[in-house]
């Protein structure tokens, strides 16, 4: 399957449409990555009153006096998402989005993107999943961070029962920001591939690690969809920036993923045509 890289802008735009548009332009023009992904939440639907009115757990990264205010500052409304989708089209890339609740899902489904993402935090919200199965005809991508093997099985079974498992992409993920290499556990990709590869559309890797080296190992292990957080400046305020790639990192990752994919093939003949001149020159046959 053709490799796909998704640049996860998420909330790294800081609630600023101008920054969001600039990120789209760079993803397309400089990085040449095919997808830009945002997030859509309804904070008052997702959070209890206590959660909404409590301080951000890391005040240095907060954009508001309370966690609820922080989340509201970083939210775009559906018309702004529509504008961002149009801007993606103008730059010849696809818009996609993670939906965190039913109201957000209804808003984004109305934009008819090619794919939608269910984040790890919401992957057992079967009311949300049921709505997507019934009302969204595109690909449904689901992250499996913070998810047990039993929960993963329940998720796959749910989509199979709804007749949507062939539209399902499962992402191996460790939900930490950033995550140490020893905690990425990439061999889980092979386990997901072996267990569910014949039942779902594909296996992906959503990485929160530093650098770009281990994404290539994820491809070699069977992942074909890759998602990395993207920022213009890793020092910006916000918890996701430190686990994000800046423009040159994203550009180089996409270059290397395509090179890795091209190389992951079997030989179609024992002696390759490009080897023949070197064989004639250097190969030592003791029987001659």
- 5: which strand partners? 226
Closest by alpha carbon to 94, among 194, 225, 197? 225
CA 25 – CA 232 distance, rounded (Å): 12
Closest by Cα among 153, 145, 195, 198 to 173: 145
Question: pLDDT tens, position by position, for the chain (288 residues)?
Answer: 799 999 999 999 999 999 999 999 999 999 999 999 999 999 999 999 999 999 998 888 999 999 999 999 999 999 999 999 999 999 999 999 999 999 999 999 999 999 999 999 999 999 999 999 999 999 999 999 999 999 999 999 999 999 999 999 999 999 999 999 999 999 999 999 999 999 999 999 999 999 999 999 999 999 999 999 999 999 999 889 999 999 999 999 999 999 999 999 999 999 999 999 999 999 887 565
Q: What is the DSSP letter of 121?
A: G
Radius of gyration of the chain from Cα atoms? 21
Q: 49: exposed, middle or buried (C-beta count within 10 Å: 0-12, 13-18, 19+)?
A: exposed
- Count the alpha carbons within 13 Å of 159 in the hemisphere toward its beta carbon: 29
Q: 22 near 249, Cβ under 8 Å?
A: no
In 3D space, the residue among 154, 156, 106 whose CA is nearest the CA of residue 134 turns out to be: 106
What span, in angstroms and rounded, lies between the C-alpha atoms of 127 and 283? 65
0.85 surpassed by pTM: yes
Beta strands in 2-91 (DSSP E): 4-10, 35-40
Whether residue 170 contacts residue 200, with contact meaning beta carbons closer than 8 Å, is answered with yes
Alpha-carbon gap, residue 175 to 100, rounded angstroms: 15
CA 156/CA 146 separation, integer angstroms: 16
Residue 78 tokens, joined: 């559906």
Fold of the domain built from segment(s) 4-114+170-190+202-282: TIM Barrel (3.20.20)
Domain ranges (residues) in the chain: 4-114+170-190+202-282
């Amino acid at each position: 399957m053709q490799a796909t890289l998704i640049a996860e802008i998420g909330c790294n735009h800081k609630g600023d449409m101008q920054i969001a548009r600039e990120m789209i332009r760079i993803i397309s023009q400089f990085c040449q990555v095919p997808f830009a992904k945002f997030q859509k939440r309804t904070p008052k639907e997702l959070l209890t009153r206590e959660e909404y009115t409590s301080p951000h757990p890391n005040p240095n990264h907060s954009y508001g006096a309370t966690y609820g205010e922080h989340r509201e500052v970083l939210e775009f409304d559906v018309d702004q998402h529509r504008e961002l989708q149009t801007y993606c089209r103008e730059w010849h890339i696809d818009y996609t989005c993670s939906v965190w609740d039913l109201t957000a899902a209804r808003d984004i489904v109305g934009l008819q993107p090619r794919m939608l993402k269910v984040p790890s935090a919401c992957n057992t919200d079967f009311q949300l999943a049921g709505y997507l199965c019934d009302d969204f005809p595109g690909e449904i991508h689901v992250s499996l961070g913070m998810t047990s093997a039993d929960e993963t099985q329940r998720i796959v079974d749910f989509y199979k029962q709804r007749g949507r498992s062939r539209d399902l992409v499962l992402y191996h993920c460790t939900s930490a920001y950033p995550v140490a290499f020893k905690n990425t556990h990439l061999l889980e990709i092979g386990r997901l591939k072996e267990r569910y590869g014949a039942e779902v559309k594909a296996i992906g890797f959503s990485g929160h690690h530093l650098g770009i080296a281990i994404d290539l190992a994820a491809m070699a292990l069977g992942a074909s969809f890759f998602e990395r957080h993207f920022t213009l400046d890793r020092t910006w305020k916000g918890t996701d920036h430190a686990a994000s790639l800046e423009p040159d990192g994203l550009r180089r990752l996409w270059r290397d993923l395509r090179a890795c994919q091209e190389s992951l093939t079997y030989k179609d003949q024992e002696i390759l045509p490009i080897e023949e001149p070197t064989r004639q020159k250097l190969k030592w046959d003791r029987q001659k």
